[in-house]
Homo-oligomer: A and B are copies of this chain.
C-alpha cells in the first residue's frame, strides 16, 4: 500500500477495485474529434465519465468504498458531506447494497443535484455552506445514526476506485503521452496519477485547475498544503481543498498543475457540447480549457482526458443570459 512511504493504493488494489466494481459501473466510451485534433495538432482521447452511473466518475470510488466495507460497517449506513456528485454516487452505491446514505449538503447546493440525491434515495441533511458547519453536521448525523463516513476523496478505497477510469482508458488507447484530469480535492487526480504510475509509467500526468480556485496549484508549487479559501469558479466540483492522502500522491506522481481562466472553462465546455455533443459539466472542461489556452504543448502528442462528469444544471447554462 505504500510508495515512498506515502499511503497509496498499489497496482493490486487498483486492479481489485476494477474487478469489484465492474458489475455495477459502466465501461464508458472514449470519444475523439477529428476537427478538434486538427485544430490542436495533437490527438485527444476523451474518457467519457459523464456517461458513468450517476453521471460522474464518482460512482467508481463510491462503489469501491461501499464494497470494501464489512457487513457490520454497512449495517448502519454510510455518511458524507458533499454538495455534488459524490453525494449522488454514495447514495446510488448504498441503495444498490441495500443500506442508507446520509448526505450533509450545504443549503446553497443546486436543486438539480439535491433532486438527484433524493432520486437515489439519499437522506439529505442541509447545513450552512461552511466547512465547519458541514463537518459538525456530519458528526451529528453519524452520532445519531451510527453511519460510517465515506469521505469524497480522502479515502484510499475512493482513490483506488477513481483510478479505474484511467486503467480502462490505458487498456483501450495505447501509447498515450499525457493524461489530464481536473483537480479539486484530488481524488480523481491521485487515482489517475497512480494508474499511470503503475500501468503506463511512460506517460506523464498534468492536472488542470481553475485559476480562481488554484489551491492545488499553489500547494503543488510550494510543496506545502494551501487550503482553498475563497474559490470563485463555475467549476463547482473543483472548489474543495486537497486531502492529507491525495496531496502526497499528487506531489509524488503528477508532473505539473496548470491553471485556466473562467472564460476558458466556459469556452471549452461549450466546445464539448456543441461540437462533440458531450454533455460535460464545467469541471470536466478544465483540462481541455488548459490545452485551448496553450498551457501545455500537445503538438504530435496523444493526450487522454478524463471527462469527469456531466451533471450540469441545464436550466442555468453559463453561456445563456437569464433575466
Q: Contact residues of A with B, CB < 8 Å? A: 29, 31, 35, 50-51, 55, 112, 119, 270, 273-274, 277-279, 310, 314-315, 317, 319-320, 322-323
Contact = CB atoms under 8 A, between A and B. Distances in A.
Nearest to A28: B29
B323 A274 contact: no
A320 B320 contact: yes
A112 B279 contact: no
A35 B323 CA distance: 34
B274 A112 contact: yes
Contacts of A274: 112, 314
A277 B51 contact: yes
B314 A277 contact: no
B319 A315 contact: yes
Nearest to A323: B323
B314 A317 contact: yes
26 contacts: A29-B29, A31-B51, A35-B119, A50-B277, A51-B277, A55-B277, A112-B274, A270-B314, A273-B279, A273-B314, A274-B314, A277-B279, A277-B310, A278-B279, A279-B279, A314-B317, A314-B319, A314-B320, A315-B319, A315-B320, A317-B317, A317-B320, A320-B320, A320-B322, A322-B323, A323-B323
A38 to B, nearest CB: 12
A244 to B, nearest CB: 33
A95 B317 CA distance: 33
Given A273-B314, A278-B279, A314-B320, 7 more contacts: A29-B29, A35-B119, A112-B274, A314-B317, A315-B320, A320-B320, A323-B323
